[in-house]
Structure 1
Amino acid sequence: MGTSEGPSPKEHAERAVHAVKQEAAIYRGEEDRPLGGYAVLMSIYFTLVGLLSAGAVRRGRPLPRPSAGDLVVTALASHKFSRILSKSAVTSPVRAPFTRFDGPGGPAEVMEQPRKSSRIRHAVGELLACPFCLDLWAVTALVFGLVYAPGPTRLVAGSFGALAGADFLQLAYAKAQQMAEG
């Protein structure tokens, strides 16, 4: 083990890996948390943001200065896109490799649980079944859309924003009907 000069680089690496695994085990406790899978997803996210940012700088693309309207539309569009991707029955084929059906959810929605056959599958399953988790990715896509293609991005965001508004009106109408019927 090591020389008189101390541990070798390989021994340092082994100790570091052991320490990380030990910390992950302490964090998880009795729960099955895919920390390695989360780390992969975070790495993918930050790599994409870095590449898109570097590309924007290299091409001289100005950073967007979103108006209050852009912020509202982005919030509504991100909400709706995340709900469609994470909960809609018609998008379940996208989630199926990473989740399993758990039952019906809200109006036109399903509930799913992540598959746990691997840390990556588990983490991706959690991401795809969680509208709150997907919001970060959706907002990021829309922000970079404003950098690279502001016109089409505003069209898409406005469409998803209008769809979110229509959903809220549908729910309000159904509630009003229930109240009218007593």
Structure 2
Amino acid sequence: MRDYDPAGAVDLHGYSGSLLTYGLAVTALAGAAGGRAPERYAVRDLVLGGIATHKFSRLLARGSVTSPVRAPFTEFQDAAGAAEHQEAARGEHGVRHTVGELITCPFCLAVWVGTSYVGALALAPRAARTWAAVFTVTAVSDFLQHAYARVRG
């Protein structure tokens, strides 16, 4: 691994821990789902889940109201408009830094959230769809709020 990053700028150990945790979580989810995983997924579930995953990941990663969840792992940088914060991961290496990077990146969080949603479709489809409906409705509302503000000027 030293050949990859001789300067030690990339926290390969932290990222390895994240990958291991994700792999263990997926394995546990697959084991819990057993034979209940659907052979295929309905397009409506994927669209609903995709929109909900986007909204929930963005809320976790950037939302002002969710900043207490991120605070142990991040440092506030600046307000980012529309009830969002810009934050940076604490430290340079280690678990705290790695978690900080993960929870400030909506793209990174989306993998974990999307995996959870798809797993929940196998284990508790009604609850999964209810969760997805709430965050999809919220995402549509947010879009309309922004559109309305632009139209109003």
CA gap 1:118/1:62 in 2 versus in 1, 3 angstroms = closer
- State the shift of 1:106 in Å: 2.7
User: Which of residues 17, 26, 40 is equivalent to 1:49?
Assistant: 26
CA deviations over 1:83-113 (Å, ceiling 9, x no partner) = 1101111111110111000000131100000
1:49 partner letter: V
Q: Is the radius of gyration larger for structure 1 or structure 2?
A: 1
User: Which of residues 48, 60, 85 is equivalent to 1:73?
Assistant: 48
Structure-2 residue corresponding to 1:152: 127
Q: Aligned partners of 2:66 and 2:26: how far apart in 1? A: 25
1:70 partner letter: D
Regions of 4+ moved over 6 Å: none
Identity among equivalent positions (%) equals 42
Q: Aligned partners of 2:73 and 2:133: how far apart in 1? A: 30
Alpha-carbon RMSD across the aligned residues, in angstroms, is 1.5
2:41 partner letter: P
TM-score by length of 2: 0.94
TM-score by length of 1: 0.79
Q: Aligned partners of 2:95 and 2:151: how far apart in 1? A: 44
Q: Aligned partners of 1:32 and 1:84: how far apart in 2? A: 29
Gaps of 5+ in 1: 1-19
CA gap 1:84/1:64 in 2 versus in 1, 3 angstroms = farther
* Aligned pairs, number: 153
Gaps of 5+ in 2: none
Structure with greater helix percent: 1
- State the shift of 1:120 in Å: 1.5
2:104 partner letter: A
Between 1 and 2, higher relative CO (CA 8 Å, sep ≥ 6) is seen in 2
Q: Is the 8 A contact 1:64 1:146 kept in 2?
A: no
